Chain A
Amino acid sequence: MSELTDISLAEARNGLRRKEFSAKEITQAHIDAIETGNEALNAYILPTPKLALKTAEIADKKISDNEARPLEGIPLGIKDLFCTKDVRTTASSHILNGFTPTYESTITRNLWDAGAVMLGKLNCDEFAMGSSNETSHFGNVISPWRREGSNAPLVPGGSSGGSAAAVSARLCLGATATDTGGSIRQPAALTGTVGIKPTYGRCSRWGVVAFASSLDQAGPLTRTVHDAAIMLKVMSGYDPKDSTSVDLPVPDFEAALSGGMKGLKVGIPKEYRMDGMPEEIETLWQQGIEWLRSEGAEIIDVSLPHTKYALPAYYIVAPAEASSNLARYDGVRYGLRVPGGDIIEQYENTRSAGFGPEVKRRVLIGTYVLSAGYYDAYYLKAQKVRTLIKRDFEQAFEKVDVLLTPATPGPAFALGEKSGDPIEMYLNDIFTVPANMSGLPGISIPAGLSNEGTPLGLQLISRAFDEEMLFRVGKVIEDAAGILSRPEDWWSIT
């Protein structure tokens, strides 16, 4: 592992500006790391080394001309859900076989305009549907983490499993990710990385492959809270091409990092203490509470009574929206086509061959709950429950500034361990889904290790458009947790 792949994004930014190393050098170091490490991890499904070096050259020119932009020369990985002009984009689905966009997503456009370098496209669950990165057409992502004394492959979480594994294994300085029900925060927690899902509307969804449009939101996955603040600043902003993006100024998230805890009220929602939750999660949570209390926070018990209904409501709303969003994959406009006798049969054959089992399951559930006679009983009911979930949060935020919860109900599990039962897999997102259902920002911060020696994360949730609070309090947790151990490099071919 090279020194240049082991530094934080913030350190890289400083080093590049001080000309301690060039954009080309740090990019090449990451290309080498991908070449030796990706076969074992399967984090990248399309490395783009030539493009990366070409961009790095431009970055070096900018730096030498003293025209460095905010992310000049910073090598990043891009989740394959983001459309990248002239670079294959598949959402890890066979149905988008070979799809090469003729346009760039707004978020990646913002990153390239800020000088960032794309190392390649990252693996994810198919159409971001999964919590373990076991539904990708391109195969499973393997976590760089292993249980102590075991070589059994663990999942990196999902759906942004490739992003989390690549950041954790030092195959990029940071990565883009998306979060519909926890797909940034859950993999971040399972791989010891930082993942923030900003408020719905903070980042443009234009050019991001749609899963569930009222829940989808993109964000960064990084190794430090500071790095997440730097990346999110560039990714955010109003976009006329996404009518749900909000026209609000983007705050200086870096400035929020040094705010400290003095005078802040932290809510502890009692409903996040679930039956059968492992002891170590409870212990971690208590530890988090102590850290914030000792830094001067006032700890207040709050109640979010509809918490337990967030996940079942999500599994009506998200599949319903997915079933209509995925209707566009018809074998006519892009990707795969499997011929049939007539056009209907061609649709059916194409979609049968192109979608994997989890995607089919969700499209069918969505079709069922939206079908005649069931709309009121399912979709409308779920949207009403959603109003109540959001109301719970609004009432809590009358009393507190931020909520502290566990990020996941447990540490990383082994491949195949939970893929037999859909509901058991869905339960992984039990602590992350409520923020999506309410549009609120949430962040997962590495806070400790499990009894198995694998990472665990704590989650913070704040008021809408108050990501600054997440960075402020997140930094306090990060500092209190100190330097956590990191996965030992078993994946590089030497």
Chain B
Amino acid sequence: MKVDDATVRNIARLARIKVSDEEAISLKGELNGILQWVEQLNEVDTDGVEPMTCVTEMPVKMRKDEVTDGGYASDIVKNAPEKAGTFFVVPKVVE
């Protein structure tokens, strides 16, 4: 078992997802199952193999350093659950 109860709690915390005790139990089993299954990758000799960074070997296009977009703050906040003018409203984070 790679993932114990504390690890489930920790990664759920890192992922900002609240999990109930019941969920944590079934997640522990499922995550261990998946991690055990991907272990088979250890059979593959990858010494000296470059990790893939992009599937298509295309040079990244550069664009001109100029402003081409923007100026619609009201669109950006349009779907916010809570807003004040063109600001997102969040619970107080600084005392």
Contacts and interface: CB of A to CB of B under 8 A. Distances in A.
Interface of A: 98-100, 102-103, 199-201, 214, 240, 243-244, 246-247, 306, 308-309, 312-313, 315-316, 323, 327, 330-337, 339-340, 342-349, 351-352, 355, 360-361, 363-365, 367-368, 371, 378, 380-388, 390, 421-423, 437-439, 464
Contacts of A386: 51-52
Contacts of B90: 332, 343, 346
B93 A368 contact: no
Nearest to B46: A384
Contact of B27 (A247, A340, A364, A371): A364
A201 B19 CA distance: 37
Q: Which bucket holds chain B's interface residue count?
A: 35 or more
B93 to A, nearest CB: 5
A10 to B, nearest CB: 30
26 contacts: A102-B78, A244-B54, A244-B56, A312-B37, A312-B40, A333-B79, A336-B81, A337-B82, A343-B93, A345-B18, A348-B18, A361-B27, A364-B8, A364-B11, A364-B12, A364-B15, A365-B31, A365-B34, A371-B11, A384-B51, A384-B52, A388-B49, A422-B30, A422-B34, A439-B56, A464-B55
Interface centre among B55, B63, B78 (most CB of A within 10 A): B55
Interface string B84-95: 000010111100
Residue from B35, B38, B54 with most neighbouring chain A CB atoms (10 Å): B38
Given A309-B40, A382-B41, A385-B41, A363 B17 contact: yes
The CB with the most chain A CB atoms within 10 A, among B43, B49, B88, is that of B49
* Contact residues of A: prevailing secondary structure: helix
B49 A367 contact: no
A361 B51 contact: no
Contacts of B27: 360-361, 364
Nearest to A334: B79
A201 B58 contact: yes
Given A316-B38, A387-B49, A387-B52, A334 B18 contact: no
Nearest to B17: A351
Nearest to A438: B55
A1 B90 CA distance: 52
Contacts of A352: 17-19
